[in-house]
Amino acid sequence: MPPARTGYRAAVTQLLPVFDLDGTLLDSDEALVAAFVALGIARETISFGHVIGDECARLGIDVGDYVDRYDTTVVQPFPGAAELIGRLDRWAVCSNKHPVSGRAELDRLGWTPEVALFTDAFGGPKRLEPVLDLLGVRGADVIFIGDTGHDRACALAAGAPFALAGWNPRAVAAEGDVVLEHPLDLLDHLDRSHRSDR
């Protein structure tokens, strides 16, 4: 195990959850699609889990136009997600979502993660490392919860454990994934992980 970097906090006693937002905490597929459809994009050509700028470029539309049409008032948490967030002392967000939409949704829901980084923070697809730096922890100190293969790859690249948001019917498990069937299952997983480290 590499030594802790200078300036990092004392050892984390329980894995700190870092969440993807769309498709993990928020059931946002329909809102994401509706903004594209409002811009004349055929529903069947839209895909998920990408940097919003990349998807807009692929579909030939302006990001600003997309953000203007995205309705931040309609997206709701997956069942159990709000209760989970209410029971966490520390948590963070690492998302490919546009920062205007992401921050508006966090504000509307009254959610206050310790760190929330969006697509403007990464210079490309999301990466866990900037989140880890702001939290003052290593990859092994967090668990990244997401719904896509890109989320899994982010965790792997940062040396972080990964858990699949199995409550999203679009999420596809890979061999070796921890699959959480309900958001509150994370609490049991964190507790088991904490006890096994003792």
Read off the pLDDT of residues 36-89 as tens digits, 9 standing for 90 and up: 999 999 999 988 777 788 888 999 999 899 999 989 999 999 999 999 999 999
- Say which CATH number the domain at 100 has: 3.40.50.1000
In a domain, 87, yes or no: yes
Q: Give me the pLDDT at residue 47, please.
A: 83
Tell me how far apart the alpha carbons of residues 99 and 121 are, in angstroms, rounded to a whole number.
9
Per-residue model confidence (pLDDT) at position 134 = 98
- The reply to whether 10 falls in a domain is no
Burial of 116 (0-12, 13-18, 19+ CB in 10 A): buried
pLDDT, mean over the chain:
90
Q: Which helix or strand (DSSP H or E) is residue 18 part of?
A: strand 16-19
Residues 98 and 112 in one domain: yes
Spans of the chain, pLDDT less than 70 = 1-13, 194-198
Residue 179, helix vs strand vs coil: strand
Classify the phi-psi angles of 125: left when phi > 0, otherwise alpha if psi is within -120 to 50, otherwise beta: beta
> How high is the pLDDT of residue 2?
35
* Judgement on whether residues 21 and 42 belong to the same structural domain of the protein: no
186: nearest Cα among 92, 115, 106, 81: 81
Identify whether 120 is part of a domain: yes
Closest of 118, 121, 77 to residue 99, by C-alpha: 118
* pTM (two decimals): 0.87
Same domain, 42 and 97: no
End-to-end Cα, the chain, rounded Å: 17
Q: How many domains does the structure of the chain reveal?
A: 2
| Burial (0-12, 13-18, 19+ Cβ within 10 Å), 60 | exposed
